[in-house]
Structure 1
């Protein structure tokens, strides 16, 4: 894939004016307040992962509307200390996978919570969380489910699940509740952005090649899925254009990133047709700049100039381990 987006010199200062609804904060504060009225306990059960150096637990916690959301909780075996925890969100179509796959961060000395994404989990080693909510007609995939109304949009449920995952992580045995870091790549990066905005006292955010950022530009410059789901929907539902963009403005990563306060490590790939670099930079440059956010939120971005959506892969994992050690030292 060749370079197709703005040159890096322009991306560094790219700050587009992304539409934001007047009731954005009220929408999200009301959503979270309702979700937190569901006080179902967080269930934690140890599983036999076959690993000797990592303990793994099957977790169920209440998400949007109290719906049960699955996760894996993993931590170094034999360690009794309250540890920092990384809450991880999953890329599009993925699920939480299998217990023995959750060992990397515990091997580095951290606790780890991997949240299942409701209704997905149809790739990799699968997921276990259904989405009990239906929707109006939609294009294939998840991006247009409930897109006619922000109250019914799919990602309202997912982003609320993500915030509630942070709440749940803070109650887990052996976790330091003041040292919760959110993380994810692609869709997971978009969800992590939302979590950092909706729970602004998290300790950090690791956001890789994020999806769900500056929807309108992404749809206009890339034909790649999943953004093409929106294109396909609008090609059929011609009168719905304005309503669709209004709905998406409540979920745009640029608007959410403004409200984040935690230190952040981003990554971007300049040949990425799935999550175009200008959409990543739009969110990165907005991160921590909103009204009322303390000045000088710490952030940095790793740039992979000749990579597509795979981004930095293992090189970015190494960068994250260094960044985490510095952050939590």
Structure 2
């Protein structure tokens, strides 16, 4: 097997390289308080797309800093109430995707909530001073500002707020809500379950947004992580602020949030992944204290992992 990172035995022991800010817990407790104080003003708008066995809605809510966040919501028509739900998160710069790729869970009796990340490829607002999208550059957005203004702070909070909204729906059993997603969606799944610990089961795939310093040291600040190198080249070309910058990135490093997770975890990992290196994924996985397991794909990278979607579905069906 080609080795792009550590041997598997070492991966299961790896604890991460990126610094954890000293006030990390206070930072996120303060952020959660801001989220809970926001008036969500939830709005459901029937979609033009409909199917016989479920109702499809565009769901809007107001997140922190006044951003109007969009999600697709599919509610099964004949499922027992209250019934389980799953919240879904997409890859970096993408969007919630088509209605059709969510119907499988709705057909199984789940309510499905799929969020557009603010400022990326969907309809959620980025209130950073202009209308419209910034598309990417979100890891470094706010890095030269107060840590409370990091954009991924707000996106992480959006995931938890959406999960809380899902749990508040009268048709949803708040004790049977899961989360899932791949790449950025995998990182957001971990962040969501950390900030909304009532999430009972989560199925992240090769999670992004973890152990930034390890990515840098492996010379893999490219592809999804390219903005790290761009930021240094433009704003700290001699790396005089390197320790400060990586410590600040630690606020939005999912490995440091992972210990807050209380739900059961099933994670998919490709050991040939050069986009989100396996060690960065295990930095988060190894900090999870709840029941967890990893499905390992030795010859696969940042791509479709055959059979994992079926394993994740069987796992979430236990809700």
The answer to whether residue 152 in structure 2 is matched with residue 155 in structure 1 is yes
When the two chains are superposed, the root-mean-square deviation of aligned CA atoms in Å is 2.1
Give runs of aligned pairs for residues 230-249 of structure 1, distance below 5 A. 230-238=228-236, 239-249=240-250
Q: 1:255 to 1:118 in 2, by over 3 A?
A: same
Q: Which runs of 4+ in 1 moved over 6 A?
A: none
The answer to whether residue 305 in structure 2 is matched with residue 312 in structure 1 is yes
Alignment check: 8 A CA contact 2:267 2:293 kept: yes
Give runs of aligned pairs for residues 1-329 of structure 1, distance below 5 A. 2-16=2-16, 18-121=18-121, 127-134=122-129, 141-148=137-144, 149-221=146-218, 222-238=220-236, 239-288=240-289, 297-313=290-306, 315-326=307-318, 328=319
Can you give the 5+ residue segments of structure 2 that lack an aligned partner in the other structure? none
TM-score by length of structure 2 reads 0.91
TM-score by length of structure 1 reads 0.88
> What is the distance in 2 between the residues matched to 1:10 and 1:87?
32
> What is the distance in 2 between the residues matched to 1:139 and 1:59?
21
Alignment check: 8 A CA contact 1:70 1:128 kept: yes
Alignment check: 8 A CA contact 1:144 1:233 kept: yes
Bigger relative CO (Cα 8 Å, ≥ 6 apart): 2
Could you tell me how far 1:78 is from its partner in structure 2?
2.8
SS in 2 for 1:102: helix
Alignment check: 8 A CA contact 1:85 1:180 kept: yes
Q: 1:9 to 1:198 in 2, by over 3 A?
A: same
Q: 1:218 to 1:169 in 2, by over 3 A?
A: same
Could you tell me how far 1:159 is from its partner in structure 2?
0.5
**Number of matched pairs:** 311
Alignment check: 8 A CA contact 1:186 1:211 kept: yes
Could you tell me how far 1:62 is from its partner in structure 2?
2.0
Can you give the 5+ residue segments of structure 1 that lack an aligned partner in the other structure? 122-126, 289-296
